[in-house]
Amino acid sequence: MKYGRYEIIEELGRGTMGVVYKAHDPQIDRMVALKVLREDRVVSQEFVVRFLREAKAIGRITHPNIVTVYDVGQDHGTIYIAMEYLEGRPLNDVIKGRRFPVEEAVNICSQVAEALGYAHGRGITHRDIKPSNIILTPDNRIKLTDFGIARIEDPDAAQQTQAGDILGTPVYMSPEQVLGKTADGRSDLYALGVIAFEMVTGQRPFDGGNIAAIFQSITHQAPPDPMALGGCGSRTLADLILRSLAKKPEDRFQTGEAMAAALKRCLDSDSHPFPEMTRRPVKAAASKKRVLAALAGVLLTLAVAMIGIQMLRKTPPPPPLKHPPWRLRNQPPN
């Protein structure tokens, strides 16, 4: 079977929007990953628009950690995108049943953060960051894939997404996505924080028996401390992850570059992952020390006073004077 000039070799996977095949491009004799819009989605103009948006989104960017798009076309009544064929495993397969060492988790997440920073700088928000969209190559490089629901920040284009339309995979969605609010690059960095949490602890920060329970946790519950769950091994990395999972976007990292730099600093035990936040904790610690020192001084003074009182009570009174104290020693009595 062919789509355009591409000869289908085998199916690689299926998603909510399409099917991905391994295919051969005879024109330049190379293998490609061919993503084809599912036939049942073709009847929906909204999904067609989103599918074409994926090609437009990743076709605009060139980055070593983002999959390369070669071509887009139509055949058999549907639409296809020819992309770089990747050798490797999706991160969701690698994560299963293990906890990552800090250095390995930092290496993977910092690559994702840098790729997202690059895309965000060009007006592209992924909005569906999850382990299955991150391919880990044999040489431990990552490739970010599937910009199928990416939002292009094009002021001249009509808004394609309806208000309140919830996109993304529930457990990795940010609070603003759950609430149907506008998602930007900080939503992608939130999802990366969820992935980092999962990598170092072996579990997700928010979970539940159904979507409603998951959404309730995401919007209202504080995530557990990764250090308390074991496996994290780094206080600075744990603090970084918790910052990434802040409910308010303004309390998270504002750019992928900033998050990547902070991740790399986690490997330096003498540095803080986000220097701009070091002043407040240091000041708070110094203030606490001053209060404790003052309290210790008060307690010491009280202790000395109590000892003095006890000693006075046990000391016998002095003997009576033979002569009134005002008489001179050489003055005879009357």
Length of the chain (residues): 334
**Phi and psi, residue 194, nearest 5°:** -65, -45
SS3 273: coil
10 Å Cβ neighbour count for 254? Answer: 15
At which residue do the structure tokens 């431990």 appear? 140
**Phi and psi, residue 154, nearest 5°:** -115, 105
With b for 16 or more beta-carbon neighbours within 10 A and e for fewer, the 25-41 pattern comes to beeeeeebbbbbbeeeb
The encoded tokens of residue 181 equal 């609010």
Report the interhelical angle of 256-265 vs 235-244 (nearest 10°). Answer: 160
The encoded tokens of residue 125 equal 């928000």
The encoded tokens of residue 298 equal 């008060």
Question: 87: closest CA among 152, 121, 136, 133?
Answer: 136
Q: How far apart are CA 13 and CA 237, in angstroms?
A: 34
**Rg (alpha carbons) of the chain, rounded to whole number:** 33
Does the annotation mark 128 as catalytic? yes
The encoded tokens of residue 216 equal 């309730």
Catalytic residue among 29, 71, 75, 128: 128
Q: How far apart are CA 138 and CA 107, in angstroms?
A: 14
SS3 331: coil
Q: Are 150 and 53 in contact (CB under 8 A)?
A: yes
How far, CA to CA in Å, does 207 sit from each of 110, 180, 198, 215, 218?
25, 19, 11, 9, 8
Known catalytic residues are 128
